[in-house]
Amino acid sequence: MSYKGEGISPLFFGLNFSLKNVMLEQIANSISRYIGKTVSITNLQQLSGGSINQVSCISLDNGSKYFLKTQVGAVQTDIFQIEHDSLLLLAESKAIRVPVPLVYGDEFLVMEYIQNGSKATDWQEQLGRSLALLHQQSEHGLFGFHCNNYLGTSPQINTWKEDWLSFWAENRLEPQLKLLSELLGLEDPLIKKGYQLLERLDSWLDSIAEPAVLLHGDLWSGNAMADQKGNPVIYDPACYYGHREAEFGMMRMFGGFGEKCEAAYMEIWPFSDRYEERFRLYQLYHELNHLHLFGHAYYSTSMASLNALQ
């Protein structure tokens, strides 16, 4: 028997996905196979939760702790395999720390437990330099990923493309506009301006000659923290191989990453001309996705970016 439920928070069982003893058994058995020793889950503490996933800390009878991520609501059976593979890629880059994944199932992902710490005084600079190193990881020159993945709950299309212009048009902006046109209608001003923008993407992206590099893909302040040494840790990726500047679209959208971060990045790998305009273009993708996921509150921000790119 590998589950001892006396330390499990009642809140855990009250959530709508209602993890049962059989699932905790599966998690404990998966960890046991991974480490080569039978262990039991003795305690579970909820750390955060939302409309998509919940993160908890599980304690084992051998004294170890791990992060446990579970789905809330409808189960997407491939989401944790994709996140497992993405975290492994980031970890193998050795550019920046991530919670190393251990095991996964259709409904769970177990990762290295990292104690949250206070950010070092140079945390921003460390992050910028680490991202510049991460963005030197390139697979084979193509833009995309070995599978489609998710941005929140939205499908993110990663079909391989030979050029960045085609990738950003066909795999990023156009799918978002199609989803939104079903909600807003083809005659909505935002949809019209979005499709007009697609016809002019070459003015920003046709000259991109940089390699396709590994991106976190969903890097906002809520997906970054400090470990106990104060060093940067990033997590919850939506990885793909893309133009490095696309990373900063999401980073700029909600803030939390200052000028020191970008300056430190540019000391290693400066941005090319007109990067501010491209940052806004990359930010637009995330704004459109948030409009699709969370509703009209993001309409004005999406329209503001479209107007700025006229």
Of residues 122, 218, 227, 236, which has the active-site annotation?
A: 218
The answer to whether the beta carbons of residues 135 and 213 sit under 8 Å apart is yes
CATH hierarchy code of domain 123-308: 3.90.1200.10
Q: Which structure tokens are listed for 194?
A: 């979005």
pLDDT digits (tens, 9 = 90+) for 168-194: 999 999 999 999 999 999 999 999 999
How many other β-carbons are positioned within 10 Å of the β-carbon of residue 294?
Answer: 11
- Degrees (nearest 5) of the Cα angle 15, 294, 172? 115
Of the pLDDT bands very low, low, confident and very high (cuts 50, 70, 90), residue 14 is very low
Q: What average pLDDT does the structure give for the chain?
A: 92
Q: What is the mean pLDDT of residues 26-51?
A: 91
> Which amino acid is located at 168 in the chain?
W
Locate the domains of the chain by residue range.
Answer: 5-112, 123-308
Q: Which structure tokens are listed for 246?
A: 């696309």
Place of tokens 């996933």: 53
Residue 227 CA, chain-centre distance (Å), reads: 18
CA distance 296 to 291: 6
pTM over 0.85: yes
CATH hierarchy code of domain 5-112: 3.30.200.20
- Spatial CB neighbours of 197, under 8 Å, sequence gap ≥ 6: 173, 284, 306, 309
Residue 287: phi and psi, rounded to 5, are -65, -45
Of the pLDDT bands very low, low, confident and very high (cuts 50, 70, 90), residue 139 is confident
Would you say residue 40 has pLDDT above 50?
yes
State yes or no: is 218 an active-site residue.
yes
